[in-house]
Structure 1
Amino acid sequence: MPAADTAGPDAGPATGPATGPDGASPRTVITFGTFDVLHVGHIRILKRAAELGDRLVVGVSADALNESKKGRAPVFSQDERVEIISSLKFVDEVFVEESLELKRDYIVEHRADVLAMGDDWKGRFDFVSDLCEVVYFPRTPSVSTTELIEHIANTA
């Protein structure tokens, strides 16, 4: 299936978990992120991802993964970030993402029909388009975790 910028009507057959009440398989959407210092941009992208299917699965970056890719420890621990994301009513399942290289494995394991990511990752996950539809959402303008952390540090 080709990568897409928006969810299209030809998303292909669902490969998600057990059938829903109407007999069709639920459409599972998966997304990934650090979600450190949760803000409105995170909420908006998660809500948009949830709207693409019946079930939203979120991979939260492990502390070690965050440190290796961003060069700093997260403000909130992975357990705290998992708890925060789990508390959102539109999120159905949360797991800890241990490695960026395991995206294909996570998609297969969670039987995802759609991978939804922010467009700051545009094109970087097209390699999984043979497994699921790939959707990139525009980021919320002027909202950045890094900028929030810097602002807090500079005003403290």
Structure 2
Amino acid sequence: MKKYRVGYTAGVFDLFHVGHLNLLERCKEMCDVLIVGVCDDDYVINIKHKKPVFAENERVRILNALKCVDRAELVDFKITDDKMLALEKFHFDVLFSGDDWKGSERYNKTEEQFSKVGVSIEYLPYTKGISSTDIKNKI
């Protein structure tokens, strides 16, 4: 039996690579159902100030093809920024996030909000030595 019933994580997932796969497989090891929010193109362009290599619908399609992902769908800025809105939409009992967010003001607030409704946050390490930015720079 897995630790959680429904897990949720979100990201851009542009230039899908083994670091993305490692993250998603770790998430799936801890939950029965893994839902992945894919940040829409508007978020990537206006918030991250990058132009995605692959369009939002292609990134969602790639994630939905993975056996470790039960459902992937587009999320906008509001849902990406406010994890309580993500919780309302996806009804998860654990949020998976990169460990670089642990202790940040944003996630301290999210932890406080989630503790009131019985939702956990699991912080996972990034795969060292690979990122979409590194791949773009190599190309």
Q: TM-score, normalised by structure 2?
A: 0.85
SS in 2 for 1:54: strand
Matches within 5 A, 1:76-91: 76-91=54-69
Q: Which runs of 5+ in 1 are unaligned?
A: 1-8, 15-26
- Report the RMSD for the aligned CA atoms in angstroms: 1.7
Structure 2, unaligned runs of 5 or more:
none
Q: Secondary structure at the match of 1:38?
A: coil
Query: What is the total number of aligned residue pairs between the two structures?
Result: 129
Runs of 4+ in 1 over 3 A off after TM superposition: none
Larger Rg: 1
Per-residue displacement from partner, 1:113-156 (whole Å, max 9, x unpaired)?
0000111322343433324100111111111110111111xxxx
- Greater strand proportion: 2
Contact 1:125 1:134 in 2 (8 A): no
Aligned to 1:21: none
- Structure 2 counterpart SS, 1:117: strand
Q: What SS does the aligned partner of 2:27 have?
A: helix
Amino acid at match of 1:74: P
Given candidates 68, 77, 99, the residue that maps to 1:119 is 99
1:128 pairs with 2:106: no
Report the CA distance between 1:69 and its aligned residue.
2.2
Trace 1:3-152 onto structure 2 (pairs within 5 A).
Answer: 27-99=5-77, 100-123=80-103, 124-129=106-111, 130=114, 131=117, 132-152=119-139
SS in structure 2 opposite 1:51?
helix
Distance 1:126 1:115 in 2: 13
Identity fraction in percent:
36
